[in-house]
A and B are shown apart, each in its own frame.
Chain A
Amino acid sequence: MTIEETGQKGSIQLGTESRILPSGEREFMLDVATSDIELNMGPQHPATHGVMRLLIRTDGELVTGVQPHLGFLHRCAEKIGENVEWLQYLPYTDRYDYLAAMNNNLGYSLAVEKLMTGLEIPQRATHLRTICAELNRIASHLIAFGTYGLDIGAFTPFFYAFREREWIQALFEKICGARLTYSYIRIGGVFNDSPPGWLQEVERFCDVFEAKWQEYYDLLILNHIFVKRTANVGVIPPAMARDFALTGPMLRASGIDFDLRRDMPYMDYGEIYEAGAFQIPLGSGEKGTVGDCWDRIYVRMKEMIESLGIVRWCLGSIEDGPVIGDIPKVLRVPNGECYVGIENPRGELGHYLHSDGGKIAIRCRVRGPSFVNLAVLEDIMPGTLLGDSIAIVGSIDIVIGETDR
């Protein structure tokens, strides 16, 4: 509901009765009409996951309306896409969802490759792409887990999450030189072959991480206080999830079994699913209701383990070979338009590209999952307490770079 719909009046109405207390005094109950306050959970706030402004109307501790304001990180990615060449646009793709930069590169590269009919992507490149995308999914979900704990008030998981994340970032640094914005997955393949020993180190990471994951799960997710703060909070029923076009863990937490990697597979994911390397975790209302905040963080935690399965499958079947196809320095993409959606850690990342055969795109549209997922906040936050609102915002797991592009 919008702020206007909630009305101006306060809602605390007490009866006008009186009673005699055991001490002999008479206690009166009075009508206290208070008015709602408008709070600004402003662009600079430790718990808004970036620069987002939430205008919250509260009646005491109860939230009666919320109005998200975006645009504080609008960096004109779509206009830049219409002005720079195809290969030059790749670094900008890293920077929308900066926590899952490999997946962004992948989405853009797959979209351009779809327009370039007849382009062969080498097998080794596909496997390296999959390994990097899934490791990045683990890194992104680790931040979701760490910062969610921080929002709720638990400081320790943040440090543990960053410990594992430093390892993943060191792996990525060995393969492409960057820690956060990689530009590694390029049109036609990947930029660099893995250095010697890298694949063995990834295997070692998988083994160590599995044990650590169980530790984090028991530490935070099954923690009694965490469950009390997130179960039955911010419930998104399946019909609402479909209406708001939620995708990714938010959709699966509401019980809807849909994952682009399995149901509309791209790259090798169809084959990987057939081999049984990963399953799709769903929210089941184990601690509360289906589609509450606990289910969303539960789905994200389980997805980390499934990603390990995918990485292990790729490590087992990777072969030697070239890592990039034959791409000219100045790329001219054939005339056409396409939309390619991939499964980002946050949902469906879609790239719509329109080319007229030239060096520069005519239109480069980015469908950011965080932007679409955030709209649901206007409907699920009213009616909750202020502390629950923080839990809800954290559970949507937004990245403002993607919300604002």
Chain B
Amino acid sequence: MDFAAIHDHLKAIGAPGLLGADEPRPADKKAKDPGRSGDPYLLIDCARIVDFLLVCRDDPKLSFEILADITASDPAADDEHFWVLLNLLSIEHKHRLALKGLLPKANPVLPSATKVYRAAQWNERECAEMYGITFEGHPDPRNILLPDDWVGYPLRKDYEFPKEYHGISCE
């Protein structure tokens, strides 16, 4: 199924938290729109993410058994949202779906997807330590790639590189 068909099917079965779609469009000089290339993304509500993923996984027409990736992005230092990006893959139907949710930087909390996919566990730990996002209900929220006493969230756009760590200069 291509993106339009998946989107229509999700709308038809009333998937919880579905907000809209962000599709590629050509550039429009008159409207000063740079256009958008690449993949279409489905916009979802972060608070209802677990129910939405359950629908994606269990519905027989979609059957997205594999959570290929769950990550986050900080589009700009002055943007007030993080983007939470997921990518689902279906082995049975051989299609992909890309999801995007907006998370306010003031309160970056959303439920953890580990109940739905076990693969989310380590990816969410990485998101949490890189952006400072809290995944509620995560069974093991420790740092995974950074040292346990690392200060700051490195992948945020306003991150300041450290000057030293445990007495060793970072310059």
User: Interface on A for B, CB 8 Å cutoff?
Assistant: 2, 70-71, 74, 76, 78-79, 82, 114-117, 240, 242-245, 247, 256, 258, 263-264, 334-339, 341, 348, 350, 352-354, 357, 362-363, 365, 367, 371-372, 374-375, 404-405
A247-B66, A350-B68, A404-B145 as given contacts; A362 in contact with B38, CB under 8 Å: no
Q: How far is the CB of A17 from chain B (nearest CB, A)?
A: 42
> Chain A contacts of B76 at CB under 8 A?
362
- A to B CB contacts below 8 Å, 8 in the list: A79-B154, A244-B118, A245-B67, A339-B39, A341-B68, A348-B68, A362-B75, A405-B145
A70-B145, A71-B147, A339-B98 as given contacts; A117 in contact with B37, CB under 8 Å: yes
Of the four ranges (under 10, 10 to 19, 20 to 34, 35 or more), the interface on chain B belongs to: 35 or more
Binds A, one of B5-13, B45-53, B119-127: B119-127
A244-B119, A263-B94, A372-B119 as given contacts; A115 in contact with B68, CB under 8 Å: no
Q: Are A372 and B145 in contact (CB under 8 A)?
A: no
How many residue-residue contacts, CB under 8 A, span A and B? 119
Q: Are B91 and A242 in contact (CB under 8 A)?
A: yes
Q: Are A338 and B155 in contact (CB under 8 A)?
A: no
> Chain A contacts of B155 at CB under 8 A?
78-79, 82
| Interface residue? B34 (CB, 8 A) | yes
Tell me which of B34, B39, B118, B157 contacts A335 (CB under 8 A).
B34
Tell me which of B38, B87, B121, B123 contacts A336 (CB under 8 A).
B38
> Chain A contacts of B34 at CB under 8 A?
334-335, 357
> Chain B contacts of A353 at CB under 8 A?
38
Would you list which residues of chain B between 85 and 101 have a CB under 8 Å from chain A?
85, 87, 89, 91, 94, 96, 98
> Chain B contacts of A354 at CB under 8 A?
73, 75
> Chain A contacts of B130 at CB under 8 A?
78
Q: Report how far A244 CA is from B65 CA in the complex, Å.
A: 10
Q: Report how far A6 CA is from B38 CA in the complex, Å.
A: 47
Q: Report how far A384 CA is from B121 CA in the complex, Å.
A: 23
B39, B94, B130 — most chain A CB neighbours (10 Å): B39
Q: Are A242 and B41 in contact (CB under 8 A)?
A: no
> Chain B contacts of A337 at CB under 8 A?
36, 38-39, 41
| Interface residue? B3 (CB, 8 A) | no
Q: Give a binary string over B104-139; 1 marks a CB under 8 Å from any A CB, 0 the rest.
A: 000000000000011101110000001000000001
Q: Report how far A242 CA is from B146 CA in the complex, Å.
A: 28
Closest residue to A405 on the B side, CB-wise? B145
Q: Report how far A139 CA is from B155 CA in the complex, Å.
A: 34
> Chain A contacts of B154 at CB under 8 A?
76, 79
A78-B155, A341-B68, A354-B75 as given contacts; A243 in contact with B117, CB under 8 Å: yes
A79-B154, A337-B41 as given contacts; A350 in contact with B69, CB under 8 Å: yes
Q: Are A243 and B118 in contact (CB under 8 A)?
A: yes
Q: Are B145 and A367 in contact (CB under 8 A)?
A: no
A362-B73, A375-B121 as given contacts; A367 in contact with B68, CB under 8 Å: yes
